[in-house]
Chain A
Amino acid sequence: MSEHQDQPFDPNLPVRVDDAGPATGPNAGPAIPQRGRGRRRLSASMIIGASLVVLVFALALLSFIWTPYDPSVIDPAARLQSSSLDHPLGTDRFGRDTLTWIMYGARITLLVGIVAVGIALLVGTPIGIIAALFAQYPWGMWIGAVIMRANDILLAFPALLLAIIFAAVFQPGTGPAMVAVGIAAIPGFARVARSGTMQVLSSEYVRAARASNRSTPAIAVVHVLPNIAGMVIVQASVAFAISVLAEAGLSFLGLGTQPPVPSWGRMLQESQQFLSTHPELALWPGLCIALAVLGFNLLGDGLRDRFDPKMEARGDG
């Protein structure tokens, strides 16, 4: 049995670990650049990314304490206003304040991201680690292979397909949407965790640990987890960006967040009929989605540089 038979995404290939990531993967990392200049540039992307992410979190948290208006109050007299002192981002067709809705929408965006990524991370990472741990023993190879094959089958059910079916089974809504996105992201985490674990297991200090008869679970906890944590966090950041986009797309299809819950994707969808008369209704949620995705992607890039396995290996050596 060659390595490549059961793992076409082997990290030994020029495909980098992160490239084996999930389907839509806007997760191409900048390759390791030369230290001096590269560091500076990458930390710039990290700063921008982190600021955008913090901004989204701040909006969402602030909405729990204060918003300019009550999001559910309808005011026919104030409908479809442009920006003004009263309504900095204008109002929608129900006369609701757009800024308030943007702030509340940040909550759903984060909720979807956190739950989806949470599911994928908590299920995918252990699966990947277990597959890698089994694969090192001749008797366990087939278990590792079966796990990864099951993972491949899961990969054949993309997020949208799952979401369409889930929406039919459980009613369209935020819940089924985020679970579907989460399940679809499991294979990405499993692969990252698996290839990361395999790298760790082949490193010298683990060989040393094993020589001193440490048990496999102990090795997993002591050596594997801390060493792959970085890669998993990178994957999480990227998956977060994907789930923000997915929520928007699903809401556009009417399969995501349902009214009257404020969501950016839904706002964008509802703004369509006002594109020629009130384009700002599409502008604000569109901008928010784009900035949030950009933020999480840039943050992922920045983190990847920090946690890059090759850099780390160099450090260990």
Chain B
Amino acid sequence: MKTPRTTIWVAAAAAAALFLSACTAGASDPKGTQKDSMAIAFTAEPVNLDFTSTSGVAIPEALMDNVYESLVRVDGEGTIQPSLAKEWDISEDRRTYTFRLQEGVKFSNGADFTAEDVKFSYDRVAKDWKNPLKSKMDLVENVKVVDDHTVEITLQRPSNMWLYNLTTLVGAIFDTEGTADLANEAIGTGPFAIEKFTRGQSIDYVARDDYWGDAPAVKKVQFKYFKDAVAASNALQSGEIDIISNLQAPELAGDFQSEEYQIISGTTNGEVVLSMNNAEGIFKDKAAREAVMHGIDRKAVLDTAWAGYGELIGSMVPPTDPYYEDLSGVWPYDPEKAKEKVREAGIEGEEFAFTVPNLPYAQAISQVVSAQLEEIGLKAKVETQEFPAVWLDKTFTKHDYDMSVINHAEPRDILTVFSKDYYTGYDDSTIKPIAEKADRGTEAEYIAGMKTIARTITEDAAANFLFLFPNLVVAKSDIEGIPVNRVSDSFRIADLSWN
């Protein structure tokens, strides 16, 4: 008799204690954060800290410019700025770059930064990296240490892209002794060191007091990962975090229309592309693709699926790139013309496979797009695919799709996405020679060439460029230094400060 009764009493007492202490604890918890620390919400979580072997945006977002630095970096206007290299010269034949390095720079493990580290890091890209982005460094012929603070890099041929590529993760400088356990330990020259990495949940940064540049205003920063935008929004409203780095449910922005918060809507490098299989199936026919171009009201897509945040660009080039041109008017919304094209292609009522990754924006867009296509007589068979695993496997690798929608977030990725072997199956025979010539030419020739390429792809109706994914940041209003545009693959925390 005693056993159940005692248990119940003990349990009741425990529960009561739990409640009371929890209430008081909750009440006494300081709301908001102290002024030398900051907590920032992100969506995509890094599975480890090693971007040399694992791809995806999450790792460079967390580490580049914060822990790792490159010789050069890109600023908010898309211009290349010095970083670990104070200055650089380019040889007459535009193949050799001589970088003069910052002095007195230390890695977070105490080692000195020298030209040897540059050679080590860039030689390592070809040798040890597994991340497919390493091909950006394929052009490098030789890295030569001139002296401790000078390094000479020779390319196989002149390239306008290369120096820009160096601002991305392939340019990261590692210590010669610091690559033993990259997955768990990141040793760089940046303003912050990682204090604690809790996989799947958070990264804690602490500002280094031996940083070579300006000391960051905020000493302790936490990146916290939220798969669910609503949870992140709740956390900001209840003061548990200070910034949402990119709000994945734009309708929630409405909750922050007050003096307490600031909403920043800028650009990213992410073009939301309604891609079509150019090589096979129903959309091999250009008329069929043209029907899709005329049949979709991109403004309506943007307004309903992403609350109007974002920009209509009409091409694969974001406005922050030097060769940007507004091509949103090339394919005006014209359902009548679209129906004509459907008839011309002879695909009326035909069903096609629309593979949709299970990401919030993609699922929202797919509903609007398939409804609009139905109006012009095209029947989309929507298949939701788990992202990344299934989408990468079926749509991306096996090209087993007719239409898909994805945010291509890599910077300057137009030539990658529109090539023959890529999942778009785009016939690149026209643009390839133009691209090669542009890359070798002067800067003016480069910009002109790339503009031609972007226009050609859009006019070929290779894909429907729905909109530019917005950089939608929500933050407490007394935070300064949040960049309006996301032009690089990193999220710089050194620029942030409390007002």
Direct chain A–B contact by Cβ atoms under 8 Å: yes
CA distance A273 to B305 in the complex (A): 13
- B47 contacts across to A, CB distance below 8 A: none
A173 touches B249 (CB 8 A): no
A171 touches B255 (CB 8 A): no
Contact of A74 among B229, B249, B300, B383 (CB under 8 A): B300
- B367 contacts across to A, CB distance below 8 A: 72, 74, 94, 259-260
Task: Identify the closest chain A residue to B385 (Cβ).
Answer: A171
Task: Tell me if B303 is interfacial: C-beta within 8 Å of chain A.
Answer: yes
B386 touches A168 (CB 8 A): yes
Task: Tell me if A87 is interfacial: C-beta within 8 Å of chain B.
Answer: no
Task: Tell me if A11 is interfacial: C-beta within 8 Å of chain B.
Answer: no
Task: Tell me if A212 is interfacial: C-beta within 8 Å of chain B.
Answer: no
Contact of A273 among B229, B372, B374 (CB under 8 A): B229
Nearest CB in chain A: distance from B315 CB, A: 23
- A273 contacts across to B, CB distance below 8 A: 229-230, 233, 249, 251-252
CA distance A99 to B305 in the complex (A): 20
B384 touches A171 (CB 8 A): yes
- A272 contacts across to B, CB distance below 8 A: 230, 249
- B230 contacts across to A, CB distance below 8 A: 272-273, 275
Contact of A95 among B233, B304, B366, B370 (CB under 8 A): B304
- B371 contacts across to A, CB distance below 8 A: 72-74, 94, 260
Which residues in window 250-283 of A have CB below 8 A to B?
254, 258-260, 272-277
B300 touches A260 (CB 8 A): no
Which residues in window 276-306 of A have CB below 8 A to B?
276-277
Nearest CB in chain B: distance from A10 CB, A: 21
Chain A 94-115 per-residue mask, 1 if CB under 8 angstroms from chain B, else 0: 1100000000000000000000
CA distance A74 to B303 in the complex (A): 11
Chain A 7-42 per-residue mask, 1 if CB under 8 angstroms from chain B, else 0: 000000000000000000000000000000000000
- A274 contacts across to B, CB distance below 8 A: 251
Task: Identify the closest chain A residue to B380 (Cβ).
Answer: A260
CA distance A8 to B255 in the complex (A): 53
Task: Tell me if B133 is interfacial: C-beta within 8 Å of chain A.
Answer: no
Task: Tell me if B48 is interfacial: C-beta within 8 Å of chain A.
Answer: no
Task: Tell me if B320 is interfacial: C-beta within 8 Å of chain A.
Answer: no
CA distance A171 to B367 in the complex (A): 18
Task: Identify the closest chain A residue to B362 (Cβ).
Answer: A259
Nearest CB in chain A: distance from B357 CB, A: 11
Nearest CB in chain A: distance from B8 CB, A: 18
CA distance A61 to B229 in the complex (A): 36
Which residues in window 154-201 of A have CB below 8 A to B?
167-168, 171-173
Most buried by A among B303, B370, B384: B384
Chain B 288-327 per-residue mask, 1 if CB under 8 angstroms from chain A, else 0: 0000000000001001110100000000000000000000
Contact of A93 among B304, B386, B389 (CB under 8 A): B304
Task: Tell me if A76 is interfacial: C-beta within 8 Å of chain B.
Answer: yes
Most buried by A among B252, B255, B370, B371: B371
CA distance A36 to B126 in the complex (A): 86
CA distance A172 to B304 in the complex (A): 24
Which residues in window 195-218 of B have CB below 8 A to A?
none
Give the bracket for the number of chain A residues in contact with chain B.
20 to 34
Nearest CB in chain B: distance from A166 CB, A: 12
Most buried by B among A167, A173, A275: A275
Nearest CB in chain B: distance from A171 CB, A: 6
Task: Tell me if B43 is interfacial: C-beta within 8 Å of chain A.
Answer: no
Task: Tell me if B26 is interfacial: C-beta within 8 Å of chain A.
Answer: no
Chain A 119-163 per-residue mask, 1 if CB under 8 angstroms from chain B, else 0: 000000000000000000000000000000000000000000000
Task: Tell me if A223 is interfacial: C-beta within 8 Å of chain B.
Answer: no
Task: Identify the closest chain A residue to B228 (Cβ).
Answer: A272
Task: Identify the closest chain B residue to A254 (Cβ).
Answer: B358
Which residues in window 365-419 of B have CB below 8 A to A?
366-368, 370-372, 374, 382-386, 389-390
Task: Identify the closest chain A residue to B375 (Cβ).
Answer: A73
- B356 contacts across to A, CB distance below 8 A: 259
Chain A 226-264 per-residue mask, 1 if CB under 8 angstroms from chain B, else 0: 000000000000000000000000000010001110000
**Do A172 and B372 form a contact, CB below 8 Å, given A74-B304, A94-B304?**
no
Nearest CB in chain B: distance from A180 CB, A: 15
- A171 contacts across to B, CB distance below 8 A: 383-386, 390
CA distance A273 to B252 in the complex (A): 6
Task: Tell me if B30 is interfacial: C-beta within 8 Å of chain A.
Answer: no
- B132 contacts across to A, CB distance below 8 A: none
A93 touches B251 (CB 8 A): yes
A172 touches B386 (CB 8 A): yes
Task: Tell me if B254 is interfacial: C-beta within 8 Å of chain A.
Answer: yes
A76 touches B249 (CB 8 A): no
CA distance A254 to B384 in the complex (A): 10
- A276 contacts across to B, CB distance below 8 A: 254-255
Task: Identify the closest chain B residue to A275 (Cβ).
Answer: B230
CA distance A94 to B304 in the complex (A): 5
Task: Identify the closest chain A residue to B389 (Cβ).
Answer: A168
CA distance A172 to B383 in the complex (A): 10
- A258 contacts across to B, CB distance below 8 A: 358, 363, 382, 384
Nearest CB in chain B: distance from A238 CB, A: 27
Nearest CB in chain A: distance from B28 CB, A: 27
Nearest CB in chain A: distance from B369 CB, A: 9
A260 touches B382 (CB 8 A): yes
CA distance A259 to B305 in the complex (A): 13
Contact of B255 among A74, A76, A277 (CB under 8 A): A277
B303 touches A259 (CB 8 A): no
CA distance A277 to B385 in the complex (A): 30
- B370 contacts across to A, CB distance below 8 A: 72, 260
Contact of A172 among B233, B249, B252, B384 (CB under 8 A): B384
- A275 contacts across to B, CB distance below 8 A: 230
CA distance A259 to B356 in the complex (A): 10
Nearest CB in chain A: distance from B385 CB, A: 7
Chain B 42-83 per-residue mask, 1 if CB under 8 angstroms from chain A, else 0: 000000000000000000000000000000000000000000
- B255 contacts across to A, CB distance below 8 A: 276-277
24 pairs, A vs B, C-beta closer than 8 Å: A72-B367, A73-B371, A74-B300, A74-B304, A74-B368, A76-B304, A93-B307, A94-B368, A94-B371, A95-B304, A171-B385, A171-B386, A171-B390, A254-B358, A258-B384, A259-B363, A259-B366, A260-B367, A260-B371, A273-B230, A273-B252, A276-B254, A276-B255, A277-B254
Q: What 4 A-B pairs come out closest when comparing CB atoms?
A: A258-B384, A273-B249, A74-B371, A76-B300
